[in-house]
Structure 1
Amino acid sequence: MATVTKLKTKAGQVRYKARVRITGYPVVNKTFPRKTDAHAWAAKVEKQILDGTYFEHQERRRNTVDALIDRYLGTVLPDKKPSTQRDQVRQLAWWKREIGKTTLDRLRPALIAEKRDELAKDRSGSTVNRYLAALSHVCTVASSEWHLLEDNPVRKVRKRPEPRGRVRFLDDRERTALLEQTAASPNPYLHTIVTLALSTGMRHGEVMNLTWHNVDLSRRVIVLGDTKNGERRAVPLIGEALDRLKDLRQAPRIDTDLLFPSYKDSRKPMDIRGAWGKALEDAGIEDFVFHDLRHTAASYLAMHGATTSEIAAVLGHKTLAMVARYSHLSEQHTVGVLERMNASVFGDERKT
């Protein structure tokens, strides 16, 4: 219950002490110069305690963004993949520098939006959105699990526009030239690596970190357990890529399980940057990076009639949004399909 007691200071001033005492909760006191203010405060606090919000609000006033991020880094982030940890540590360190001293009761969307705009001055929209996503997950955990925030304020902050995804793929001449140069490369693994990436659409890290434990030649499949989206993925092995791995299996390194180990340290994958760059140069290919082999595989799939859901399944994307960039290539194939259907149904009399 709430009570208000009249007090007199040593200087003779009258004050009113409001006290809220509810069984099972700490006693809460506050003194006011006016009796009406004391009663109003006591009634408000009593209701908040009974609703279960008062002490949560007090925690928000005591805790800072600094403390919130530190708790997240210590308890939540260690469960994430190492690559994700590295990125989020860097992103959250930036937020700590910018708003770390802000108490949680003052963490407002307007403040976050202001910092978003500062980020956007020298960073791309995609990068800004990754920074927002890192802070957003901290706030989500703080709200849903720790009850230190009433809601996630980042949800009310607009993301920055992101450029349409890059689609750079090899045309027939470039593909032939590149494969010729990788086959002629002094690096014994380069041709197999490029063939595998081009055939399967696997990421650079997925290819380079492959072990024989991932490869089942009898079933013609590679099983990836540590993918970018954190899900297990099976990658079919077909044609040239399968043949190349069969050849590689004939003379495996006995000091490592890696398919493509470094010469200097067999526990680490090989660094192919030099050999890769030389092959591109000799093939006369410009504006092309290793990741574009993944785009090339996806583009070829689209041009051969694969649906967006099929492309997403091959590449290991959780949503179709990431493969929308290849839709125009699928549309070209669709036109051909419709032309053949119309020719079959309506015959030649409809030709102009």
Structure 2
Amino acid sequence: MGTIRKRTTTAGNVRYEVLIRKTGFPQVSKMLKTAKEAKAWESETEAAINKGTYDFGDKIKKEESSDTVGVSTSMTLESLFTLYFEKYAGGLKDGGRRDLQRIKPIVEYMGSVRLIDLGRDKITEYVLKRLETTGFRRKTKISGETVKHEVNLIKRVINTAIGLYNLQLPYGNPAVLPRTSGITKKLKGVSRDRILSVDEEVRLLAECSESRNKEILNIVLLAIETAMRKNEILTIEWDRVDLDRGVIAIPSDIAKTGTGRLAPLTQTAVQILSKMKDAGSGSGLVFKSKYDAVQRCFTRACQRADIKDFRFHDLRHTAITRTHDRTGMQMLHLMQFSGHKSTQMVKRYYTDNVDDVVSELNKKR
């Protein structure tokens, strides 16, 4: 959310500019003398914004008065969600489609609760209840990661109301949970390390080629070759594809990190896109398939190929792991390939093969 940039003034002095951007709030910035001061101010300000206690002063332009829009402590959580999506869904990455899905269990469980009665105890109660719920598709318990996204949505919507409509809650934002609390630990989930084996890939691609959706094969192949996320692949437009240079431009409003990037292409990926361009119009969206349709086709292809416990996002794990193993690419280049902002996140997506480690350790010296 925060960015620190080193600047040199006209007088030749070095300064550090901190920029903080958060959905639903105006940008805030400050120029400081040292990198240490800049980092400290960034951390303090982000924490205050998340808690709903940061004073934006004149930076916040109230869109409407509280009386006009009806934002008050007596309104229900469901009413606040309704207002939020009516006003801000258009500015979200996917038009708010995912978040609209996420609010369903929240509204069902506590949509009628007034904001003044929505304390941390109610959020905790919701989390515990939700973690015991069985998912509709996979028939397994909802993961902590899924519930964390739902709690973060509540936090974001309430922060928007606090910042833009001066909503005053007695204890700040109840969805801001202490990092060291037991309930927060339950929301961390378990990092997945599932990657596609060579044999599974052969079976999966064979089933994709037989699918009624004629695009699913190339979508899966591009995911394996580029490590791009599903949403990134499905929003590729031809005017952002540079086959000569071998890159795809992913704009900031599509990228998960909120920062635009250039996704590098392998020769295989270039060949796939070249054939598609020659066979199609070469304009507009590269793929016409909808997000949910791709999800259904992929799930059915995995079932027919007898591939267990495998998700589309695991193709990203597969691509990052294979690319590192095949090329020995240094970490900074691997971050450029995957679109991650930190080495820690790349490591989460890279799966070590312990047999390879043993082999390396026992090489003749």
Compute the TM-score of the two structures, normalised by the length of structure 1. 0.62
1:314 aligned residue: 337
Counterpart of 1:206 (choices 213, 218, 232) is 232
1:245 aligned residue: 273
Counterpart of 2:222 (choices 169, 191, 196) is 196
Against the structure 1 CA distance between its residues 316 and 107, is the aligned structure 2 distance closer, same or farther, given a 3 Å change threshold?
Answer: same
Against the structure 1 CA distance between its residues 332 and 309, is the aligned structure 2 distance closer, same or farther, given a 3 Å change threshold?
Answer: farther
1:17 aligned residue: none
Give the SS at the match of 2:336.
Answer: helix
Contact between 1:233 and 1:316, CA under 8 Å: does it hold in 2? yes
Q: Percent identity?
A: 28
Against the structure 1 CA distance between its residues 91 and 149, is the aligned structure 2 distance closer, same or farther, given a 3 Å change threshold?
Answer: farther
Summarize the alignment of residues 64-143 of structure 1 with structure 2, pairs less than 5 Å apart: 64-82=76-94, 85-92=96-103, 94-100=105-111, 102-122=113-133, 123-143=142-162
Against the structure 1 CA distance between its residues 173 and 61, is the aligned structure 2 distance closer, same or farther, given a 3 Å change threshold?
Answer: closer
User: How much has 1:292 moved relative to structure 2?
Assistant: 2.7
Distance 1:200 1:106 in 2: 47
> What amino acid maps onto 1:81 in structure 2?
K
User: How much has 1:241 moved relative to structure 2?
Assistant: 1.6
Measured against aligned partners, the alpha-carbon deviations of 1:117-174 in whole angstroms (never above 9, x if no partner) come to 2222313322221221111112222333433135222213643344323222233444
Give the SS at the match of 1:317.
Answer: coil
Distance 1:114 1:316 in 2: 36
1:43 aligned residue: none
Against the structure 1 CA distance between its residues 338 and 270, is the aligned structure 2 distance closer, same or farther, given a 3 Å change threshold?
Answer: same
Contact between 1:210 and 1:260, CA under 8 Å: does it hold in 2? yes
Is the aligned partner of 1:155 residue 2:182? no
User: How much has 1:202 moved relative to structure 2?
Assistant: 1.6
Give the SS at the match of 1:222.
Answer: strand
User: How much has 1:212 moved relative to structure 2?
Assistant: 1.6
Flag the structure with more relative contact order, 1 or 2, with Cα contacts below 8 A and sequence separation at least 6.
Answer: 2
Give the SS at the match of 2:194.
Answer: coil
User: How much has 1:200 moved relative to structure 2?
Assistant: 0.4
> What amino acid maps onto 1:240 in structure 2?
T
Contact between 2:76 and 2:115, CA under 8 Å: does it hold in 1? yes
Distance 2:216 2:236 in 1: 14
Contact between 1:192 and 1:241, CA under 8 Å: does it hold in 2? no
Distance 2:361 2:339 in 1: 29
Against the structure 1 CA distance between its residues 251 and 154, is the aligned structure 2 distance closer, same or farther, given a 3 Å change threshold?
Answer: closer
Unpaired runs of at least 5, structure 1: 1-55, 263-267
2:322 aligned residue: 300
Distance 2:112 2:295 in 1: 43
Is the aligned partner of 1:258 residue 2:285? yes
> What amino acid maps onto 2:255 in structure 1?
T
User: How much has 1:94 moved relative to structure 2?
Assistant: 4.5
Contact between 1:258 and 1:269, CA under 8 Å: does it hold in 2? no
Give the SS at the match of 1:235.
Answer: strand
Unpaired runs of at least 5, structure 2: 1-65, 134-141
Against the structure 1 CA distance between its residues 249 and 331, is the aligned structure 2 distance closer, same or farther, given a 3 Å change threshold?
Answer: same
Against the structure 1 CA distance between its residues 163 and 303, is the aligned structure 2 distance closer, same or farther, given a 3 Å change threshold?
Answer: farther
Contact between 1:220 and 1:236, CA under 8 Å: does it hold in 2? yes
1:36 aligned residue: none
> What amino acid maps onto 2:315 in structure 1?
L
Distance 2:207 2:104 in 1: 44
Against the structure 1 CA distance between its residues 309 and 178, is the aligned structure 2 distance closer, same or farther, given a 3 Å change threshold?
Answer: same
Contact between 1:178 and 1:283, CA under 8 Å: does it hold in 2? yes
Is the aligned partner of 1:323 residue 2:346? yes
Contact between 1:260 and 1:269, CA under 8 Å: does it hold in 2? no
The structure with the largest alpha-carbon Rg is 1
Contact between 1:303 and 1:332, CA under 8 Å: does it hold in 2? no
Compute the TM-score of the two structures, normalised by the length of structure 2. 0.60
Counterpart of 2:263 (choices 210, 230, 235) is 235
Give the SS at the match of 2:352.
Answer: helix
Measured against aligned partners, the alpha-carbon deviations of 1:220-266 in whole angstroms (never above 9, x if no partner) come to 11112223444323111222221222233333237x6333446xxxx
1:13 aligned residue: none
Measured against aligned partners, the alpha-carbon deviations of 1:41-91 in whole angstroms (never above 9, x if no partner) come to xxxxxxxxxxxxxxx9xx9655554554343333334321235x2333344
RMSD: 4.1
Contact between 1:187 and 1:275, CA under 8 Å: does it hold in 2? yes
Against the structure 1 CA distance between its residues 117 and 190, is the aligned structure 2 distance closer, same or farther, given a 3 Å change threshold?
Answer: closer
Give the SS at the match of 2:83.
Answer: helix
User: How much has 1:219 moved relative to structure 2?
Assistant: 1.6
Give the SS at the match of 2:129.
Answer: helix
